[in-house]
A and B are shown apart, each in its own frame.
Chain A
Amino acid sequence: MDAFGGPIWSMAASPSGSQLLVGCEDGSVKLFQITPDKIQFERNFDRQKSRILSLSWHPAGTHIAAGSIDYISVFDVKSGSAIHKMLVDRQYMGVSKRKCIVWGVAFLSDGTVISADSAGKVQFWDSATGTLVKNHLIADADVQSIAVSDQEDSFVVGTAEGTVFHFQLVSVTSNSSEKQWVRTKPFQHHTHDVRAVAHSPIALISGGTDTHLVIRPLMEKVEVKNYDAALRKITFPHRRLVSCAKKKQLLLFQFAHHLELWRLGSTVATGKNGDTLPLSKNADHLLHLKTKGPENIICSCISPCGSWIAYSTASRFFLYRLNYEHDNINLQRVSKMPAFLRSALQILFSEDSAKLFVASNQGSLHVIRLLEGSFKHLHTFQPQSGTVESMCLLAVSPDGNWLAASGTSAGVHVYNVKQLKLHCTVPAYNFPVTALAIAPNTNNLVIAHSDQQVFEYSIPDKQYTQWSRTIQKQGFHHLWLQRDTPITHISFHPKRPMHILLHDAYMFCIIDKSLPLPNDKTLLYNPLPPTNESDIIRRRTAHAFKISKKYKPLLFMDLLDERTLVAVERPLDDIIAQLPPPIKKKKFGT
């Protein structure tokens, strides 16, 4: 719905959750009512001169603070009129030609308004009198974000230089009751602007232009000082963005607004182990498919035979048919999608490319049969009991009988595709599923969770396999559990049923179920020892987890056929080279 105020710069929901405030480009603050079925416009507040860049509600819901360019207004919600207009200095103790932009405001329950502006100042205002109480200059560049904790005794601000500052309310002397705001900790974990910060009960979370999400637990709040209390930096997405059509050796890359289809190159040269061979035929960029409209692509998939591409945005579903003739490719859109196929969380094609499985964001699972140039809706599995999660994963068995779906908090559901009914449900686990796959002949379902646990469940037997029970009893190696990134893809070798191939962002691993499991004392990461070592030592140190860290950071890895593995790397330097410029920092000696 259109707010009719131009581009919207800020939005804030009331503490009660029933009202929504929107700050627009033309300087108006609009109030909306939130009802269960829709959002309805209620009224406009007094219109200000310049655009409203930040909004904050008083915890009681009676007043709001709106930050604009060169001033902050305090409004009374009932009347909608501006009570105070507090002018912000353009520069700390000085004058400047550049206007001061108030990037963030926060309203505390005692009436203090905290503002963060583009001159690098954090200021404390008294909203009852409309005056400045305290002024802190913390940076040379803009202070772009602010977040207050629930107890209102600490808040965090992020600057454009990449520094995150923690402010706390501490008592003036050790036994006095008077308290004041003090800047306690600086953290420099970012290189570019920090555009958003959040304050959880035990951690400070910051994210910015340099694509890292940094979670910094606060040591005084953390009870148990273990691995969980360390700094976490999340760089790569935790879901799969690359699909592979194995038979045609095609890779489909999902970007935010477009899809790219590439055919892999090939080589005729040979060499020994560890060589890099030159390509005789280069990789071919076959297709660049842009999405219509401003929405991002949520999920995409290519069929194993390479003739169908499907992708979904937040409101629409697209299905394309590809024809390959000689060296050219012909794309045809399948029009008239059914009404229930709106937004999908996950899309998957069956191994024979005859069926399409779509998991919608309402929790239902649709099975569609694909015909030449058209489709036929077969069945819809309605959501089972349990709340619907926002992340859904699908896996289909190579023989086409079984479909596994993890989308609810009730566990992973396994459906019988031929009979179109629910077969069984894997017991629920309290951590979300990050990867799901069904082995070819044994029909074992392998599930990887976000706490680095891996389970193997036999679908025909409807119980966990013996190997899975053994490893659960023994427990994984502690280094395995301390990995930062989750497993995003699991695949299998068609001729070796004892092997499971899985990967995360910084390693890929082949689990050999026939070998003994490592305990905490053995070396987890043991690359192949040199050949002059004796066989006994090799046998002694060999264990089930064969890890290789050769390719990193990995986005995708899969087995194309029995002898070929494809790995997609995304170097961090490439990403950094394309980022917007950071603030200049003068370093000694340069």
Chain B
Amino acid sequence: MRLCIAQWGLGSCRGRQNPRRLPFTSRSACVLIPGQRSGAAWVMVQLRPRASRAPVSASAMVDEGQPASEEEAEHGLLLGQPSSGAAAEPLEEDEEGDDELDDEAPEELTFASAQAEAKEEERRVRETVRRDKTLLKEKRKRREELFIEQKKRKLLPDTILEKLTTASQTSVKKSLAKLKEVNLQKKNEECEKGSDSKKAKEKVQKVQTVGQNKSYLAVRLKDQDLRDSRQEAAKAFIQNCLYGPGTNRTTVNKFLSLDSKRLPVKKAAAQFLNNAWGSQKKQNAKRFRRRWMVRKMKTSKK
């Protein structure tokens, strides 16, 4: 969305171009104002007229010509006069110029026509102002919306926030329930998970997968072990130098299959099938099969 100010000579407004610059050329600019979502609207905005540097030769001034005809219109261009074209706006200087050049008596202007012209002018001005206002308003509105959206993006989406609050409430409730009841079933499960009976009472749901995409987990720090950096470094060192990248280790499967390879009647490897292969494909296939069955049932019913 860019503001393009194009400076046009008057002729271009009328469709005719004259590259020569002339004194007292009224400048009018066609401004492209970015519309909201529709195309740009061209508006005529009046600019301050600029005085030319070079003095105009008298001959140019003397040139005669009726503004009505095309030739004169061209000449009028030379002089910088506006012709009485459709988009032309009456300008005082040109009238002055007009007066100087024209020896004839001024045109008769009735009051009504002048009034009509003035009214039209007023209307036009009002309209431009209104249009400007509405455009500015729209611009402001759009800016506000943009800011709101950006702010919203910073915070977590509503759904996740809701989930978090409800989850924390239910977990608190659950812990209380556990403390109160001496439930065999729960204890059975907890014991099977390998904790002491006291721990079972205090344990709250450790891991809550919150969020639709489940890209993070919420865990209690108390359940994690304290890490000793030197211990971790030592463990990593021994693991790396014995089983790390540079060592020449084989897999347990290959090691156990070595004998079956050397038998007179060759047998298959110890773990011949790789059940983990293509798990995503298998899942998709299962889902598709289920849907197909449902569809088949529906069509067969009909």
Contacts and interface: CB of A to CB of B under 8 A. Distances in A.
Interface of A: 6-7, 9, 25-26, 51, 97-99, 101, 118, 140-142, 160, 191, 193, 258, 285-290, 292, 325-326, 328-333, 573, 576-577, 579-585, 587, 589-590
B249 A582 contact: yes
A294 to B, nearest CB: 11
B185 to A, nearest CB: 6
Contacts, number: 96
Contacts of B197: 330-333
Nearest to A590: B261
Interface stretch (B65-73, B166-174, B251-259, B275-283): B251-259
Contacts of A583: 247-250
23 contacts: A6-B230, A7-B230, A97-B246, A98-B246, A140-B248, A141-B248, A142-B242, A191-B255, A193-B242, A289-B194, A290-B195, A328-B184, A328-B188, A329-B184, A329-B191, A330-B182, A330-B188, A333-B197, A583-B247, A583-B248, A583-B249, A583-B250, A584-B248
Given A287-B191, A333-B197, A577 B258 contact: no
Given A580-B243, A590-B261, A325 B255 contact: no
Contacts of A288: 191-194
B109 interface: no
Given A118-B241, A290-B194, A580-B243, A331 B187 contact: yes
A497 to B, nearest CB: 40
Q: Closest 6 CB pairs between A and B?
A: A6-B230, A584-B250, A290-B194, A328-B184, A7-B234, A328-B188
Nearest to B192: A288
Contacts of B192: 285-288
A584 B256 CA distance: 12
B250 A581 contact: yes
Nearest to A332: B197
Given A331-B191, A333-B196, 16 more contacts: A6-B234, A7-B231, A25-B233, A26-B230, A97-B246, A258-B194, A289-B194, A328-B185, A328-B187, A333-B198, A576-B252, A577-B256, A581-B251, A584-B249, A584-B250, A585-B250
Contact of A590 (B194, B241, B262, B270): B262
Contacts of B230: 6-7, 25-26
B288 interface: no
A498 to B, nearest CB: 43
Interface of B: 182, 184-185, 187-188, 191-198, 230-231, 233-234, 237, 241-243, 246-252, 254-256, 258, 261-262, 270
A133 to B, nearest CB: 26
A22 to B, nearest CB: 14
A2 to B, nearest CB: 11
Contacts of B195: 290
A589 B261 contact: yes
A29 B255 CA distance: 40
A6 B230 CA distance: 6
- Most chain B Cβ neighbours within 10 Å, of A287, A581, A589: A581
B130 to A, nearest CB: 78
Contact of A589 (B187, B241, B262): B262
A290 B233 CA distance: 26
Contacts of B233: 25
A296 to B, nearest CB: 16
A142 B244 CA distance: 13
A582 B250 contact: yes
Contacts of A285: 192
Contacts of A589: 261-262
Nearest to B235: A7
B234 A51 contact: yes
